[in-house]
Amino acid sequence: MSESLIDAADAVRAKAYAPYSNFQVGAAIRSVEGNVHLGCNVENVAYPEGTCAEAGAIAAMIASGDTKIAEIAVIAQASAPVPPCGGCRQKIAEFASGDVVVTMATTSGETLSMTVAELLPGRFDAGHMDASEART
């Protein structure tokens, strides 16, 4: 994990819209093409309608034309590195192989790295949707 990816995630974290929780999160994705895509959390007064930083970075990646994650960094001002929520773990798994490293960081410099497979064991993927495999 390059420090520059954590730095990019931290820079976008400062732009997060989090007036209700004051919990700003930033995410930076490096695509397999080498491009960096950023996202920050965007809250809404109707809490379930907000957007996570990881989802925003994935949307930016897709909008640019890239489709595969090579590495990802997520940062928040917290006492320990904060992992992506369950929904974002599934979103990340849609665009990353199981061995892709997800680095979670705090603004004070603590980091924790895990692979996508470690974050989401038994992930649901397109292979589960094959009708011939679904028969018992």
Query: Catalytic amino acids?
Result: 54
Give Cα 113 distance to the centre of its chain: 13
What letter would DSSP give residue 72? E
Residues in the chain: 136
SS3 for 132?
helix
- Alpha-carbon span 49 to 61, nearest angstrom: 21
Asked if residue 37 lies in contact with residue 61, where contact means CB atoms within 8 angstroms, the answer is yes
**Which residues, in sequence order, are CB contacts of 125 under 8 Å at separation 6+?**
93, 94
- Alpha-carbon span 5 to 41, nearest angstrom: 17
